[in-house]
Structure 1
Amino acid sequence: MPDTDAAETPDDASPDPSVADRARNVLSENGTGMVQDLLFAFAWVGLVSLLYDFAFSAAPQWVLYMFMLAGIPAYFGFFISLEIARERGAR
């Protein structure tokens, strides 16, 4: 006996937006912020990698992890100070 609570067939389902449509929607709403976040992450990881490889080459690996974790407060500090500077400049 067929189950009446079975999953809907594709013909009965409401049309879901495609992955491309959802990605386009998210990027249009948050694109600038996402790009800024990505650029900050690349810059931070690049800077930390260079410091660890050249300036602190004899340091243990946990130093690298601490530098990477320091990126979290650095991120928020940078963008909060940027917002404050924008507010002061707008006055």
Structure 2
Amino acid sequence: MSIKERVIDHVRENRTGMVHDLIFAVAWVALVSFLFDFVFTSAPQWAFYLFMLAGIPAYFGFFISLEMAREQQAARNG
């Protein structure tokens, strides 16, 4: 199997998850950029990078809690 075929298969299998990841990343960067452009205008540059870095645990926390909520809903309905 060629690399091109592997990439196509990977994208086909994970398309929804990849779209969710992209949406979360764009929303997080937009939120942090807005905050530092309009709210925290005098904040140091390292704080901006720290907020960007905080997107990693925020991402995992959001999707883990979403999965837990789905499991609880399925348990109630099923």
TM range (shorter): 0.7 to 0.9
Say whether 1:52 aligns with 2:36: yes
| Matching residue of 2:74 | 90
Can you give the 5+ residue segments of structure 1 that lack an aligned partner in the other structure? 1-15
CA drift of 1:18 comes to 5.8
- Equivalences, count: 75
Can you give the 5+ residue segments of structure 2 that lack an aligned partner in the other structure? none
CA drift of 1:22 comes to 3.0
Higher-helix-fraction structure: 2
- What TM-score, normalized by structure 1, do the two folds share? 0.76
Equivalent AA in structure 1 for residue 19 of structure 2: V
| Counterparts of residues 58-69 of structure 1 (less than 5 Å) | 58-69=42-53
Question: Cα RMSD over matched residues?
Answer: 1.2
- Percent identity over the alignment is 63
| Matching residue of 1:7 | none
CA drift of 1:29 comes to 1.3
- What TM-score, normalized by structure 2, do the two folds share? 0.88
Greater than 6 Å deviation, 4+ residue runs: none
